[in-house]
Structure 1
Amino acid sequence: MKNTRQNASNFISLFFYFSLLAFVGYLLHLRGFNIRDVNIKELIILTFASYRLTRIMVFEKIFKFFRDFVKSRPNYYVFNTIKFIITCPWCMGVWATLLAVVFFFLIPFGDLLVYILAIAGVASLVVTASNLMVLKNKEMQNGRENDD
């Protein structure tokens, strides 16, 4: 029974997502926008913005209150689906990308938010790479000390 409810809830959220996607596509079409007109610069900006927005919603402290609120709710259909989405970076990434596209192409001055998220996404990757290099360096130093 629980699996059936979860599957139904997942199907409803998938249907809702594709309905939103179609609606956004329709709004873009009304503005004369063709998806094939997206250039590489816009694609890169949207990629980094989606990455950062996904990280914020799934992992960052700023959304912890919201995640905890949703997790504390009983397993109703909507809350269970939202709980699943906001704890899965791959699931949230699809929603975050749609949100970034809406802000970038449909909302006046929304591109400013997308640019800020993209810059923050690049900065986040630089910090992560730097932390990994420091960690690798420490591991190598510890390995040398153990050899002596």
Structure 2
Amino acid sequence: MASSSLFDAIATFTQTIAGWIIQTGKEAAQISNGLSNLVIAGVVYWIIRILICGGCLAVAGILSVVIGIRIANLYKKYCWDTITIMVTLMSFAVTIYFGHWIKAVLPVNLLLLLLFVQAIYAAIRWYVKGWREARGYC
């Protein structure tokens, strides 16, 4: 139940931010109401709205790509080995074989659960490898 409410909270937050961006675009585009020519006012309205909404979307996309590249570099540095392949394959097998029982206990998307397990695994590996490097074991 907690996982479901977490994903609901994330979805609600995302919808709220998207609503604010769209509302801001609409309000900023109202500048065009002061123009006397209706055609030009309509064009200015949509240009301003597209620039604001598109700009926010572009910033979010660039931020997602940068975060994705950083995560991929960390994953390559700390988790690029045979153990990770084995953990991933075993996680897939457990998720596939016990999927119905997992869904009965946790009403959560199994793919998101699998990604969550992989994220926890990567965080543990990152911590352990950093701990070993700090003490000169590697």
Higher relative contact order, structure no. (Cα contacts within 8 Å, ≥ 6 residues apart)? 1
> TM-score, normalised to structure 2's length?
0.33
> TM-score, normalised to structure 1's length?
0.31
